[in-house]
A and B are shown apart, each in its own frame.
Chain A
Amino acid sequence: RKEVEQDPGPFNVPEGATVAFNCTYSNSASQSFFWYRQDCRKEPKLLMSVYSSGNEDGRFTAQLNRASQYISLLIRDSKLSDSATYLCAVRGSSGNTPLVFGKGTRLSVIA
């Protein structure tokens, strides 16, 4: 089983739709979790960290389910500009362990 798994998509949704991505991780000792956004031919950039209690940033909501070992990202009221690849990332039990990425989920928001 891969350490971090995501549905590759693509997810094609109309503007204004709500879309959700899940990401599962295999290491139960993982301590920190992130969602990154990557535009075509660009470097990944942090979208949001994922906290145990869940967190929201505008139209974006991230949640962590430690019991089932997955994190989720919910995007409400999708915009054309949300079209990108979304990568989940997981880090182990200390700051010195590498960040492991899923393969990413492609989202296309259509007018």
Chain B
Amino acid sequence: NAGVTQTPKFQVLKTGQSMTLQCAQDMNHEYMSWYRQDPGMGLRLIHYSVGAGITDQGEVPNGYNVSRSTTEDFPLRLLSAAPSQTSVYFCASTGESSYNEQFFGPGTRLTVL
């Protein structure tokens, strides 16, 4: 199993550009989520999904869209990038039980100029 994969690893954008961060998992997990991590702020939840076709907002959803058309994929779209979105983005997935481990992808380091 590859686990949780994310692409790209690094990205530089200009203000106003849009892009999609890709996330995929091969563990047949229903639950997937996106976090951003900034110095001193810890991991903050952006959006999450409890299954294909179902998404919900987390703590910091503004400026981001998600969709979940398949169990495996959970892309994160930045609609119009802003410097405040410079961060490290982690995708994660979990099995159904609340006691299951949450697995993280390796992260995408995004810089918005």
Contacts and interface: CB of A to CB of B under 8 A. Distances in A.
Contacts, number: 54
Contacts of A103: 40-42
Given A91-B98, A95-B98, A98-B58, A43 B41 contact: no
Given A96-B31, A98-B33, A99-B33, A43 B98 contact: no
Most buried by B among A49, A89, A94, A99: A99
Contacts of B96: 95
A99 B42 contact: no
Interface residues of A, number: 26
B98 A31 contact: yes
Interface of B: 31, 33, 35, 40-43, 45, 48, 50, 58, 90, 92, 94, 96-102, 104-107
